[in-house]
Amino acid sequence: MNQLVGERLSIITPKAQTTRHRIMGLLNGEDYQIVFSDTPGIVDPAYKLHEGMMNFVFTAMQDADAFLVMVEVGEKKFKNEEVQQSINKSKTPTLLLLNKVDLSNQESLEADVAKWKAEFPNADVLPISALHGFHIDQVMQWIVNKLPENPPYFPKDDLSDRSERFFASEMIREKIFLHYKKEIPYACEVVVESFKEEEEIIRVRAEIFVERDSQKGILIGKQGSSLKRVGTDARKAMESFFQKKVFLELHVKVDKDWRSNPLKLKRYGYLN
């Protein structure tokens, strides 16, 4: 979606399950408005949090005029049979994007295309490289050709349905994913408590919630060094995104077992 919209709206890390929310990206042309709905990655739920993430996927599928399904070269199987069956039974136009073709060779790529065509028999299959922009123009043309005629849903100047607070929290969470290993990134939730835009600077105060005291210690690090590194990198990302100086204040708190508690997940926006 970032490549198509031309803005970095969804955070990206090498770790699975980085995206947790449904994020809309808006692209306006002379005769079209495309509303991209970027969902969390497909998972078999292990936590209540995962169930909420998968609800975002199914809600997005109900609303969509077209499906873009992205897999990677060498990927063995689709990660959720229920989603695959829903797509195959649907009459919604589907384009399967085989990503990271820059890491493959012609023989392997042809085998991958044949395999995914068999897995999604009603879909068109297109090899791409999101990183290098390979075949992105063809993706755009496919989408525009499949769009039904409707009046635009959003103002032409909008980039997303999400608030500035949301993007600030996502940038902090991205840096946590990049700087910590194992369970720490998955146990963290970021809440922006205050977002004040002044003439010269934006002042952001955010709280990072973890599930256990031991995680809090790891996140903060010796004399606060680890948290400071996250804060510095997140602040730079915000300054690039908002095109303004940012003062960022971070605090770490424990919210025990929040990923498994429906009431807490509702408070964080994962469950209705």
Considering the domain architecture, whether residues 10 and 142 belong to the same structural domain is answered as yes
CATH code of residue 142: 3.40.50.300
* Residue at 35 is within a domain: yes
Write the single-letter amino acid at 133.
G
Report the number of distinct structural domains present in the chain. Answer: 2
Strands of 76-157, DSSP E? 94-99, 124-127
The answer on pLDDT for 14 being more than 70 is no
Q: Which of 119, 146, 173 is the last residue of a domain?
A: 146
Residue that terminates a domain, selected from 115, 146, 177 = 146
Domain match, 139 and 169 both: no
pLDDT digits (tens, 9 = 90+) for 232-262: 999 999 999 999 999 999 999 999 999 999 9
Cβ–Cβ under 8 Å, residues 229 and 179: yes
| 169 and 139 fall within a common domain | no
Do both 129 and 204 map to the same domain? Answer: no
* Angle formed by the axes of helices 225-242 and 213-220, nearest 10°: 70
The 10s digit of each residue's pLDDT in 169-184 is: 999 999 999 999 888 9
Q: Identify any residues that bridge with 201 across adjacent strands, giving them in sequence order.
A: 245
User: What CATH number does the domain containing 194 carry?
Assistant: 3.30.300.20
CA 94 centroid distance within chain: 20
| Average of per-residue pLDDT across 37-57 | 86
User: Which residue range(s) make up the domain with 251?
Assistant: 164-267
Q: Is residue 116 part of a domain?
A: yes
As a whole number of angstroms, the distance between CA 165 and CA 27 comes to: 21
pLDDT at 132: 87
Please answer whether residues 265 and 259 qualify as being in contact, where contact means their C-beta atoms are separated by less than 8 angstroms: yes
CB 133 within 8 A of CB 161: no
153 occurs within a structural domain = no
| pLDDT of 15 strictly over 70 | no
User: 10 Å Cβ neighbour count for 82?
Assistant: 12
Answer yes or no: do 10 and 38 share one domain: yes
Check pLDDT > 80 for residue 8. Answer: no
Report if residue 151 sits inside a domain. no
34 and 140 both lie in a single domain: yes
Instruction: State the pLDDT at residue 178.
Output: 94
% of the chain exceeding 90 in pLDDT: 61
Identify the pLDDT of residue 1: 80
Q: Within a domain: residue 152?
A: no
What share of the chain has pLDDT > 70, as a percent?
97
pLDDT for 4 equals 79
Give the model's pLDDT for residue 248. 98
More confident residue, 149 or 7: 149
